[in-house]
Chains A and B, each alone.
Chain A
Amino acid sequence: MKAKVYVTLKNGVLDPQGAAIMGALHSLGQKAVVDVRQGKFFEIELSGLSKAEAEKSVKEMSEKLLANTVIEQYRIEIEA
């Protein structure tokens, strides 16, 4: 069973790395880019859990470690 966790910055948190990436995209000629926010992606392989148990566990992992909830939010996808 695979869990995918997407961790992104909350709105209002300054993202200078995203800004630097946007500058680089503009240098590549991609002038249509108006904003870039950089986030993190985790793939977690689980075994021996039901889908409901997996959701509960991965939520706890996200709250306690994968995301710093002062500045980040997360989204979980579970694939059986």
Chain B
Amino acid sequence: MKVGIVVFPGSNCDADCHHVVSAVFGQEARYLWHRETSLGDVDAVIVPGGFSYGDYLRCGAIAKFSPLMTAVKAFAQKGGPVLGICNGFQILTEAGLLPGVLIRNQKLKFICDTVGLSIENARTPFTSRAAKGAVYRMPIAHMEGNYFTSPDGLKKLEDGEQIVFRYVTNPNGSLTDIAGVCNEKGNVVGLMPHPERVCEMMLNGTDGRVVFESLFG
């Protein structure tokens, strides 16, 4: 499988994603610079974490206008699997590919921790190998991870089964403990935690592997 990893100025988790896809899972990983206009023939897209454009204005607010995002939107429209991790999740909400918004953590501190995540939807391309209700431990590292949407927006997420991950113990005040969501079609998933940081025992955990095992089948 060929996975395109989008790189913005300020992205810093792109290399980890590349390593997991290629060295850990033996698939083809390609960096896609944000100014390119085509994804090439990738089968899946990852929008990695980091601080694209320095989080200027709002996290992900400027990245959404990069030329490559037009191609990512078209890919998503056609049902292509797209995964947004941390800043990638923020970029996808700003770009309108995922509903809601990520705002400042409730206690106003940057949180660097390992958290338990429960799988709420095991039917996305990134959770199909997980069991609904299973708990996976993954690291978080964010200042703006607090998921928010309107009461109507929340109802729509619940009715559409678009909540994919919830925190077992909410670290940042996010609405109903939401840690990750998907779009209506279920092919675009965003989550604040970093599965790409826990795919090897050498790095103290393998709970992130399920996300990639689901994608690669």
Interface residues of A, Cβ cutoff 8 Å to B: 13-14, 16-17, 20, 65-66, 68, 70-71
Contacts and interface: CB of A to CB of B under 8 A. Distances in A.
A68 B90 CA distance: 12
Contacts of A65: 57, 61-62, 65
A70 B149 contact: yes
Chain B interface main SS type: loop
B196 interface: no
B108 A16 contact: yes
Contacts of A70: 93, 100-101, 148-150, 153
Interface of B: 57-58, 61-62, 65, 93-94, 100-101, 103-108, 146, 148-150, 153, 173
Given A16-B104, A16-B107, A68-B101, 17 more contacts: A13-B103, A13-B148, A14-B146, A14-B148, A14-B173, A16-B106, A16-B173, A20-B108, A65-B65, A68-B58, A68-B94, A70-B100, A70-B101, A70-B148, A71-B101, A71-B103, A71-B148
User: Among A17, A65, A68, which residue has the most Cβ atoms of chain B within 10 A?
Assistant: A68
A20 B150 CA distance: 23
Nearest to A64: B65
A58 to B, nearest CB: 16
24 contacts: A13-B148, A14-B106, A14-B146, A14-B148, A14-B173, A16-B105, A16-B107, A16-B108, A16-B173, A17-B108, A20-B108, A65-B61, A65-B62, A65-B65, A66-B57, A68-B61, A68-B94, A70-B93, A70-B100, A70-B148, A70-B149, A70-B153, A71-B101, A71-B148
A8 B65 CA distance: 22
Contacts of A14: 103, 106, 146, 148, 173
